[in-house]
A and B are shown apart, each in its own frame.
Chain A
Amino acid sequence: APAPAPASAPAPAAAAPAQSPTAAPAAPATNAAPAAAPAPSTPAPPLSASLSGPFPGGRVVRLHPVVLASIVDSFERRNEGAARVIGTLLGTVDKHSVEVTNCFSVPHNESEDEVAVDMEFAKNMYELHKKVSPSEIILGWYATGHDITEHSVLIHEYYSREAHNPIHLTVDTSLQNSRMSIKAYVSAPMGVPGKTMGVMFTPLTVKYVYYDTERIGVDLIMKTCFSPNRVIGLSSDLQQVGAASARIQDTLTMVLQYAEDVLSGKVAADNTVGRFLMDLINQVPKISAEDFETMLNSNINDLLMVTYLANLTQSQIALNEKLLSL
């Protein structure tokens, strides 16, 4: 089988922690010419030995939403006449995946026959970024647009000098098929060695990861999709509690609908869903009414007392202010 890399030891990935992940050429989805497979492995046997783990479908790229927002924003600010923008991706590598947490755009010029990238600028920006987050390294580059062009190959080569086997991310801002498709690739050389060589971009799985606070931030920003002039204000206090409860109410309605459908036979019953529902119902604790009353009252008393104290403190400092200005 054309699998020189993954077959070897998965553990010593520790040998190459700082390097970007090398491609797993054994992406069985693509029928790479078997002749090509031995070629990349021979010049770097220690590297392929340190290639970590089995990746049947390819490596996973974990993307944070801030990266996408940055890319779209730099696309909106592109120079006149530029069809697309490119930039560097920054992030961290670990054994099984690559996590892209930051990016910045790099000015470049592209015409029919040539492409020029301001690598000096890219280096400078990377140094500046490193001062803030020293743990981020260059993982690859991104480009807007829905296709990989020949220029991409050249640019990819530029980036191979910065990062070991860089990742290429495309964000389709031209909205082909009415979707903004986001894809990631690694390159693998192909062709007949010695004669015509080419580069093939193998796709990778893209997963979106969020920090908790990021999730909350994205939820809030998402609300602009629903307002007419794309503007929302920040709500306060009980409004937030109300909104959160409304969300739960919606999900509960969905679940109820599902249960009704199953009962009336419209939908086939699914045991796993049934078990989840059982768990859900059993999570509501059974407390006797008096115990609950006591708990509720003591909590309410605590909160009321704290509010009272806060009000008292505020009136104290107001009084103090008045006295001092006499």
Chain B
Amino acid sequence: MASRKESSGAAGGSFAASKGKGKAAATGDSAVKQVQIDGLVVLKIIKHYQEEGQGNEVVQGVLLGLVVDDRLEITNCFPFPQHTEDDADFDEVQYQMEMMRSLRHVNIDHLHVGWYQSTYYGSFVTRALLDSQFSYQHAIEESVVLIYDPIKTAQGSLSLKAYRLTPKLMEVCKEKDFSPEALKKANIAYENMFEEVPIVIKNSYLINVMLWELEKKSAVADRHELLSLASSNHLGKSLQLLMDRVDEMSQDIVKYNTYLRNVSKQQQQKHQYQQRRQQENMQRQSRGEPPLPEEDINKLFKPPQPPPRMESLLIAGQINTYCQNIKEFNAQNLGKLFMAQALQDYNN
């Protein structure tokens, strides 16, 4: 009780201190090496999606906690209402402020350390997520975004991942310059856009006691969905999403190719124009007339706009995530199939 209060006060101080440390570390590693989540937060996130999320709408919420050394401890969270009603007078910031103020009264850590979001089959690498996470990380060095996959969880095992933007990407976002040259300079590939932070779950002793109590009292049968062999539906949907993304990617590539072709065509035109000018000037000189003034080449030939590269990076990142998920899923299924084979051999 009192010790908790002290630690949250000290955490306030160490939070500022670690911010300084974090800035120094920003050039090299990331400020957060591990994320520690309370069991309570996991249950709350699960409940929020279960009750308020349907289909492929995402549910979001705010994570509260504190930073200890290089570990981010998440001790509580609260959900955000969805934007379905489009209430003009609903003020998000006010809701947050009120919630945090009220929670402070009951001694809940009121330090904003990140946010969580549910995802549909793993499709979370979007511009919106990037922007939100950037603003969070800009304000609070150590913030993470927790991605909760309810469909994968329903299949048998909790799927919760914590992501941060890499320092390189943070730099690029700060400049707001997404042209190809800037990205090439920063040397960003789709693999080093997000980094995943390992998660551990920690419970206090009293919560453990409560869990034992629950175990004794509730006679809910064990669920064995993880071992079910009927999984083609899930695989089919994932592949469908992957195909859509690959289509988008190819469109993007075509756009980039057209841009390159336009640039090279323009170069040729410029070159021709310059040559013609020189010839004319030589002719005029031979005739004794003053040479034509050199016109500004660039005004004549406006260079075409390079397409923003951020979109294609995001698409590549998303495709990568899909592929990872599919491979993981397949590995599990192969294991299950071999087990079934072993059983059948034994029967025969």
Contact = CB atoms under 8 A, between A and B. Distances in A.
Interface of A: 64-66, 68-70, 72-80, 82, 101-102, 104-107, 118, 121, 124-125, 128, 131-133, 171, 173, 175, 179-180, 182, 207-208, 210-218, 220-222, 224-225, 230-238, 240-241, 244-245, 247-248, 251, 284, 287, 289, 292, 296, 299-300, 302-304, 306-307, 310-311, 313-314, 317-318, 320-321, 324-325
Contacts of A217: 42-43, 46, 153, 158
28 contacts: A66-B46, A73-B40, A73-B75, A74-B108, A76-B1, A76-B4, A77-B107, A79-B1, A107-B105, A121-B102, A208-B218, A213-B50, A216-B156, A218-B43, A220-B42, A220-B201, A225-B211, A230-B205, A234-B201, A237-B331, A240-B332, A244-B156, A251-B222, A296-B341, A304-B334, A310-B242, A314-B319, A317-B319
Contacts of A302: 232
B316 to A, nearest CB: 5
Contact of A248 (B108, B210, B224): B224
B209 interface: yes
B299 interface: no
Given A212-B225, A302-B232, A314-B319, 18 more contacts: A70-B40, A76-B4, A76-B206, A131-B90, A210-B218, A211-B50, A213-B46, A214-B46, A231-B36, A234-B201, A241-B339, A244-B156, A287-B344, A296-B337, A306-B239, A307-B326, A311-B327, A313-B319
Nearest to B217: A208
A241 B156 CA distance: 9
- For the complex of A and B, the 3 pairs showing the least CB-CB separation, nearest first, are A208-B218, A221-B39, A66-B43
A240 B217 contact: no
Interface residues of B, number: 104
Given A222-B211, A248-B224, A313-B246, A321 B189 contact: yes
Interface of B: 1-2, 4-5, 36, 38-40, 42-44, 46-52, 75-76, 79-81, 90, 95, 98-99, 102, 105-108, 150, 153-154, 156-158, 160, 180, 184, 187, 189-190, 198-215, 217-218, 220, 222-227, 232, 235, 239, 242, 246, 249, 253, 256, 309, 312, 316, 319-320, 322-323, 326-328, 330-337, 339-341, 343-344, 347-348
A224 B203 contact: yes
* Main SS at interface, chain A: helix
B55 to A, nearest CB: 15
Contacts of A307: 326-327, 330
A320 B256 CA distance: 11
